[in-house]
Amino acid sequence: MAGVQSVFKWLVKYVLAWLLAPFYMLSATFVFILSVIRSPVATLSYRVRDSPPAVLQNAELGTHEYVRVGTSNIRLHYVASGDRDKPLMVCLHGFPEFWYSWRHQLKAFSKDYWVVAVDMRGFGDSDKPPAAGEYKIDKMAGDIVDLIEALGHRSCTLVGNDGGAIMAAWVAMERPDLVKKLVLMNGPVSLSAVRQYTKSHPKQLLKFWYGFFFKLSYLPEMCLGFNDLKSLDVLLRGKKMGCRREDAITDEDLEAYKYALSQPGALTAVVNFYRASGSKDRTFLLTLVKNWLSGQQPPAEPITAISCPSLLIWGDQDGVLDTDLARAMAESVQGMKLEIIEGASHFVQQDFPDTVNRLMTDFFKEL
């Protein structure tokens, strides 16, 4: 009986999480519509930045390059720093960022590596295919496989934050020959690992309410762009998600992000990753309920098949991803080292760059 009651309580929490997440989405929609009614011109307008700000042209960060990759012929933009003959380090950003999120690492590691910070498809100055299906994980991560090969290196150290962590881990699993060392930061090792965690942590599912919101058409782009991309200030410097260090994101940095996101097609492209992913999420709850009613237990997730030395760096003030999720993911990867930075946000490599760089350096020395 106690077991039945426990399962029932868990099911109630899970159903509530699924009901409340769309409610949060509707609340955000209502607030946006209200702001349109009050001040339509300010809310619905933003200006396209015609030229990049000076910080994006800083020669100390590296040189700007372009390469077309794979059968898709996608043109990727990247910034490279260091000697091309040294070991390759590829850095993959998350949402709603671009190569500039790795500015501190471009400087710190260019002495020992050829550091390449890439704009993934849809972001920054890389190509932005209009169809949502072009942003599935296998396609975006496939670009990185093609990029590594196009750069003339047989393997690399692969680094990723947020959505970039998903891509980096995918490459490490699908093409282990290309990844010698893997560093992930505040991002999923895999979507299946996140689903496994949310089975027993409905509050984590509730934090993913924005996933419902981004599945909508047009409205997410409007919300991201309103009031001249005010959303970027909220995301990068706000109390919930933003960097905790006061000068982590300067006004000049914020303008760089606004430049990237104001370009034609950029708003739709950065949302399309969410539209392209998560097809399993729509049937996740129904499958669990079906298994419960039939008395079947859902199969346990296999240990994530990452074979190279790996490090997970985690800011414990992440407004979306639980720190316990980081612990669970680290346990799912054999030999993965977990380093938690107290007081750091989701954008950990920008929030506490010196600490992140030290942890990376120490990790590399251990190998």
pLDDT tens-digit readout, 37-66: 877 766 666 788 999 999 999 999 999 999
Q: Does the pLDDT at position 330 exceed 70? A: yes
- 154-169: per-residue pLDDT in tens? 999 999 999 999 999 9
pTM of the shown model = 0.87
Architecture in CATH of 49-284+303-366:
3-Layer(aba) Sandwich (3.40)
Residue 165 CB partners (closer than 8 Å, separation 6+): 92, 94, 184, 185, 186, 187, 188, 189
Catalytic residues: 162, 274, 346
Residues 193 and 304: beta-carbon distance below 8 Å: yes
Pairing label, strands 74-81, 179-185: unpaired
- Distance separating alpha carbons of residues 312 and 184, to the nearest angstrom: 5
Average pLDDT, the chain: 87
Pairing label, strands 88-92, 156-161: parallel
Residues 121 and 54: beta-carbon distance below 8 Å: no
